């Protein structure tokens, strides 16, 4: 993936296809590994001295991949007024969660970038805020989730009542802003002293220095930060959905399907599969952004 | 330097101000304060459930679906629970007007300062079982000695510990296992006796295929300890109201109407089990149809037939037994649910009595003396 600016066209074209292809290959490998484990490890798993070292591989614990895939085409609720397949439900849930994660990523991204700019501008603010930014990530998500969920009915944004999905988005943003704030701050501070002094010598103001020097220089730092943030936003959204029981997303589907895992274990795996695909899509989206910003790659030294 | 700092502050202040103008606190309009006699205007009511939509809450969904709430001037919004949603806390913090919660857990929150009152005891019986394979010979709490005993923890385990204590089995005499959502640990032998709700987890094992026969597991494959029979059952699903707001006559009136319509919903589910299943499925439950029918049927058994005074009545004897177990039974950590007797405001029959009078006047059967449960056939996976 790490193609440099020079000689890009050819290498770029190859890398553009290599990414998804490798991902698919890895997925296929995972499927093969799963089935191999099922074949090789005894149904009851392996326990040494009362400690389980290998999991159970019975069909109840690890259903066959084709059972899970086949389950996608079964109706979600038999006899429902508007029947839909489990696959459709999982896809709808994943899309819902993807939208919330994306919203959270944008919200967290804007907040993180603003915070980084302010911290870069003022050392005092940085010293004041940074410890709390770090502390914010040590607060367990399950402690925040009910709190944020409780905003429903209490807070209105621009006159709109607080919807349950907004809580999920805020929690996703809460996790996403951190890597962006920290990464962006490093990026903004990354230009060499000589460059900064050159701008100063040319009598450029703070704003010009920011837009012409610091922001372009921060792109190589921002992209990995965004990658982390995208993953964090997806995890945040799923955990927030599970925690607050917000309807519509993949997190809620996981707990709903987990309830029927005793009699129908493959059903839960369809939701987990949906969550995995969701994570891949989010990572892929950041990859696309990476391609769009490729010209800034070599902008910094 | 000074200039730098000032602009930094200004920028921070600007960001803050932006945030503040974007968000505003909505005026807290307690739903009870709307005049009940206002023509056409419905009183908004938020009801917080303990878990996601399922048959356990069928009566409330039926009351919404059948218009029982609107008939009594209420616009009820049902808030689903989640893994970390504590209904009694949501209620005490004013984010809901009523909450469904188990009595011991709600009393524990009350002891810690949550201002909540049990205003109607929907489930008169406990739905908690301890289920084991018949060949493990666990027919009574005394048989748990030396066994691997599953429990959910988080305050759901006290009937079990009270039952064991009563039978002379100390928590150290058994191997305690933290249970998951599903019952696979029981089926694959990691647990000898697993905790199960009659209306949910017990049905799940009966929906699983027995590898030995290729058929579904049958009730005869299991032995069940029912805490109602042992005598350590605790009261479960009840409607809780905000204690402080009960001083407000408007909220009192809303409470009476809310209980009346809810009981009407439960009476409907007693007489129309299939219809209630469909209502719950329409409300968004993804559990299978036979599982859901089982759930509504089992929940009916916990409610009907109800005390002679009518459904929702808090019976002194059951309440006292719950409090006694909550004060006496120690779990594996040596903790009890409560450390002192709950005060007199912890429950009241005032509103449920008024609600029952309303319903009796309208000819609704609120006792269900002739109630007979259905025989539900479970399908694989609950489908």
Q: What is the pLDDT of residue A81?
A: 63
Q: What is the pLDDT of residue A10?
A: 52
Cβ pair B254, B32 in contact under 8 A: yes
Taking CB atoms and an 8 Å limit, are B181 and A261 in contact across chains?
yes
Q: What is the pLDDT of residue B379?
A: 85
Nearest alpha-carbon partner for B223 in B171, B147, B153? B147
Phi-psi region of B32 (alpha: psi -120 to 50; beta: other; left: phi over 0): alpha
Closest CB to A146: pick one of B24, B85, B288: B85
**Strand pairing partners for B126?**
none
Residue B193, number of CB atoms within 10 A of its CB = 28
What the block records as the tokens of B367 is 């006792």
pLDDT band for position B40 (50/70/90)?
Answer: low
Taking CB atoms and an 8 Å limit, are A149 and B200 in contact across chains?
no
Cβ pair A75, A85 in contact under 8 A: yes
Q: What is the pLDDT of residue A4?
A: 45
Q: What is the pLDDT of residue A63?
A: 86
Q: How far apart are CA B86 and CA A169, in angstroms?
A: 21
Homologous superfamily assigned to B5-125+235-361: Periplasmic binding protein-like II (3.40.190.10)
Higher pLDDT, B29 or A295: A295
SS3 (DSSP) at B346: helix
Closest CB to B84: pick one of A121, A146, A252: A146
**DSSP labels, B159-215:** HHHHHHHHTT--GGGSEEEE--SSSHHHHTTS-SEEEEETTTHHHHHHTSB-TTTSS
Q: How far apart are CA A90 and CA B221, in angstroms?
A: 35
**DSSP labels, B232-287:** ------EEEEETGGGGSHHHHHHHHHHHHHHHHHHHHHHH-HHHHHHHHHHTT--S
Q: How far apart are CA B233 and CA B163, in angstroms?
A: 9
| CATH no. of B128-233 | 3.40.190.10
SS3 (DSSP) at A53: strand
Nearest alpha-carbon partner for A93 in A280, A271, A283? A271
Domain range list for chain A: 96-300
Q: What are phi and psi of A93, to 5 degrees?
A: -65, -45
Cβ pair B53, B283 in contact under 8 A: yes
For the cut 50, the answer to whether the pLDDT of residue A222 exceeds it is yes
Q: Which residues of A130-159 are buried (b: 16+ CB within 10 A; e: fewer)?
A: eeebeeeeeeebeebbbebbbbbbebbeee
Homologous superfamily assigned to A96-300: MetI-like (1.10.3720.10)
Report the range of poorest mean pLDDT among A75-84, B94-103, B118-127, B252-261: A75-84
**What residues contact residue B330 under an 8 Å CB cut-off, 6+ apart?**
B161, B165, B171, B336
Q: How far apart are CA B360 and CA A133, in angstroms?
A: 60
Enter the DSSP assignment of B375.
Answer: -
Q: What is the pLDDT of residue A118?
A: 93
Give the tens place of pLDDT for each residue, B182-191. Answer: 888 898 888 9
Task: Report the chain A residue with the minimal C-alpha distance to residue B90.
Answer: A150
SS3 content of chain B, % helix, strand, coil (to 5): 45, 15, 40
Mean pLDDT of A102-108: 93
Give the tens place of pLDDT for each residue, B205-257. Answer: 998 888 888 899 999 999 999 999 998 899 999 999 999 999 999 999 999 99
For the cut 70, the answer to whether the pLDDT of residue B4 exceeds it is no
Q: How far apart are CA A288 and CA A294, in angstroms?
A: 10
**What residues contact residue A71 under an 8 Å CB cut-off, 6+ apart?**
A86, A266, A267, A269, A270
Mean pLDDT of A242-255: 86
**Dihedral angle computed from the Cα positions of residues B168, B170, B175 and B177, in that order, rounded to the nearest 10 degrees:** 100
Enter the DSSP assignment of B25.
Answer: E
A167 touches chain B (CB under 8 A): no
Q: How far apart are CA B236 and CA B376, in angstroms?
A: 23
**What residues contact residue A159 under an 8 Å CB cut-off, 6+ apart?**
none
% of chain A exceeding 70 in pLDDT: 90
Q: What is the pLDDT of residue B17?
A: 46
Q: How far apart are CA A147 and CA A139, in angstroms?
A: 12
Chain B from 29 to 48: CB within 8 A of any A CB: 46
Q: How far apart are CA A75 and CA A94, in angstroms?
A: 17
Residue B103, number of CB atoms within 10 A of its CB = 28
Q: What is the pLDDT of residue A15?
A: 62
Chain A from 187 to 226: CB within 8 A of any B CB: 206
Q: What is the pLDDT of residue B293?
A: 92
A117 touches chain B (CB under 8 A): yes
Chain B from 164 to 223: CB within 8 A of any A CB: 181-184, 187-188, 200-201, 204-205, 207-209
Q: What is the pLDDT of residue A288?
A: 85
pLDDT band for position A16 (50/70/90)?
Answer: low
Report the range of poorest mean pLDDT among A8-12, A294-298, B366-370: A8-12
For the cut 70, the answer to whether the pLDDT of residue B32 exceeds it is no
Q: What is the DSSP pairing of strand B238-242 with strand B98-101?
A: antiparallel
Tell me how close the Cα of A216 comes to any Cα of chain B, in angstroms: 21
Report the range of poorest mean pLDDT among A17-21, A77-81, A289-293, B99-103: A77-81
For the cut 80, the answer to whether the pLDDT of residue A19 exceeds it is no
Task: Report the chain A residue with the minimal C-alpha distance to residue B186.
Answer: A262
Cβ pair B303, B266 in contact under 8 A: yes
% of chain B exceeding 90 in pLDDT: 53
Mean pLDDT of B57-63: 96
Closest CB to B182: pick one of A118, A161, A258: A258
Nearest alpha-carbon partner for A179 in A142, A143, A217, A224? A224
Q: What is the pLDDT of residue B36?
A: 43
* Degrees to nearest 5, angle at CA B196 with A269 and A44: 50
Q: What is the pLDDT of residue B29?
A: 44
Q: What is the pLDDT of residue A153?
A: 62
% of chain B exceeding 70 in pLDDT: 90
Closest CB to A121: pick one of B8, B23, B205: B8
**Mean pLDDT taken over chain B:** 86
For the cut 60, the answer to whether the pLDDT of residue A180 exceeds it is yes
Mean pLDDT of A180-199: 91
Q: What is the pTM of this model?
A: 0.81
Q: Does the complex come out with an ipTM higher than 0.90? A: no
Residue A50, number of CB atoms within 10 A of its CB = 5
A181 alpha carbon, distance to own chain's centre: 16
What the block records as the tokens of B194 is 């697993």
Q: What is the pLDDT of residue A297?
A: 66
For the cut 60, the answer to whether the pLDDT of residue A186 exceeds it is yes
Mean pLDDT of B131-159: 88
Give the tens place of pLDDT for each residue, A25-67. Answer: 888 898 899 898 888 888 877 878 777 778 788 877 788 888 8
pLDDT band for position A6 (50/70/90)?
Answer: very low
Q: What is the pLDDT of residue A78?
A: 66
> Where in chain B do CATH 3.40.190.10 domains reside?
5-125+235-361, 128-233
* CA-based end-to-end distance of chain B: 71
Report the range of poorest mean pLDDT among A10-14, A170-174, A200-204, B216-220: A10-14
Extract the runs of DSSP E, i.e. beta strands, from A58-169: 155-157, 160-161
**Mean pLDDT taken over chain A:** 83
Give the tens place of pLDDT for each residue, B322-375. Answer: 999 889 888 777 788 888 899 888 999 999 999 999 999 999 999 988 898 988
Higher pLDDT, A245 or A172: A172
What the block records as the tokens of B108 is 């524990």
């Amino acid at each position: 993936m790490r193609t440099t600016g020079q000689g890009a066209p050819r290498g770029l074209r190859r890398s553009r296809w290599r990414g998804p292809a490798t991902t698919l290959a890895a997925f296929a490998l995972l499927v093969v590994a799963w089935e191999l484990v099922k074949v090789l490890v005894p149904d009851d798993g392996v326990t040494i001295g009362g400690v389980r070292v290998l999991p159970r591989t019975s069909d109840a614990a690890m259903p066959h991949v084709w059972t899970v895939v086949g389950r996608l085409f079964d109706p979600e609720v038999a006899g429902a007024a508007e029947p839909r397949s489990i696959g459709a439900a999982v896809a709808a849930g994943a899309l819902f969660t993807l939208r919330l994660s994306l919203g959270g990523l944008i919200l967290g991204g804007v907040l993180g970038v603003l915070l980084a700019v302010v911290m870069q501008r003022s050392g005092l603010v940085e010293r004041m805020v940074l410890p709390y930014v770090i502390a914010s990530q040590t607060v367990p998500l399950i402690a925040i989730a009910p709190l944020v969920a409780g905003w429903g009915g209490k807070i209105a944004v621009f006159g709109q009542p607080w919807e349950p999905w907004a809580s999920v988005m805020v929690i996703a943003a809460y996790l996403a802003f951190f890597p962006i704030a920290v990464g962006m701050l490093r990026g903004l501070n990354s230009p060499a002293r000589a460059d900064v002094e050159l701008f100063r010598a040319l009598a450029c103001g703070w704003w010009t220095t920011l837009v012409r020097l610091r922001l372009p220089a921060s792109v190589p730092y921002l992209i990995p930060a965004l990658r982390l943030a995208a993953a964090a936003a997806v995890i945040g959204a799923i955990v927030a959905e599970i925690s607050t029981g917000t309807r519509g997303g993949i997190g809620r589907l996981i707990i709903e399907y987990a309830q029927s895992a005793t009699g129908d274990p493959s059903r839960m795996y369809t939701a987990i599969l949906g969550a995995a695909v969701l994570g891949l899509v989010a990572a892929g989206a950041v990859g696309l952004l990476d391609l769009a910003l490729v010209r800034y790659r070599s902008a910094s030294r | 330097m000074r200039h730098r700092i000032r602009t930094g502050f200004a920028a921070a202040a600007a960001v803050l101000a932006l945030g503040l103008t974007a968000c505003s606190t909505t005026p807290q309009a307690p739903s009870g304060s709307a005049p009940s006699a206002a023509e056409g205007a419905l009183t908004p009511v938020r009801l917080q459930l303990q878990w996601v939509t399922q048959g356990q809450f069928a009566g409330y969904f039926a009351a919404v679906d059948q218009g029982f709430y609107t008939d009594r001037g209420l616009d009820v919004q049902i808030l689903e629970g989640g893994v970390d949603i504590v209904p009694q806390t949501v209620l005490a913090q004013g984010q809901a007007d009523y909450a469904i919660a188990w009595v011991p857990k709600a009393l524990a929150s009350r002891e810690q300062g949550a201002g909540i009152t049990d205003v109607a005891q929907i489930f008169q019986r406990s739905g908690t079982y301890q289920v084991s394979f018949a060949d493990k010979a666990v027919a009574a709490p005394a048989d748990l000695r030396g066994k691997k005993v599953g429990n959910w923890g988080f305050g759901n385990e006290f009937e079990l510990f009270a039952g064991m204590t009563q039978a002379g089995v100390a928590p150290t005499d058994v191997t305690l296992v933290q249970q998951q959502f599903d019952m696979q640990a029981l089926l694959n032998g990691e647990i000898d006796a697993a905790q199960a709700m009659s209306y949910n987890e017990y049905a799940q094992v009966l929906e699983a295929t027995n590898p030995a026969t290729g058929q579904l597991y049958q009730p005869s494959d299991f032995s069940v300890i029912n805490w109602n029979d042992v005598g350590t059952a605790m009261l479960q699903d009840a409607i809780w109201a905000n204690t402080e707001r009960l001083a407000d006559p408007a909220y009192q009136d809303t409470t009476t109407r809310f209980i009346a319509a809810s009981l009407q919903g439960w009476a409907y589910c007693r007489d129309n089990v299939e219809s209630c299943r469909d209502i719950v499925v329409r409300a968004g439950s993804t559990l299978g149809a036979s599982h859901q029918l089982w759930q509504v049927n089992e929940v009916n058994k916990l409610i009907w037939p109800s005390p002679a005074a009518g459904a929702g009545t808090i019976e002194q004897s059951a309440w006292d037994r719950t409090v006694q177990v909550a004060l006496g039974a120690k779990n594996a950590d040596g903790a009890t649910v409560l450390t002192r007797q709950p005060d007199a405001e912890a429950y009241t029959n005032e509103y449920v009595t008024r609600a029952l009078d309303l319903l009796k006047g309208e000819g609704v059967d609120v006792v269900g003396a002739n109630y007979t449960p259905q025989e539900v056939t479970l399908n694989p996976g609950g489908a």
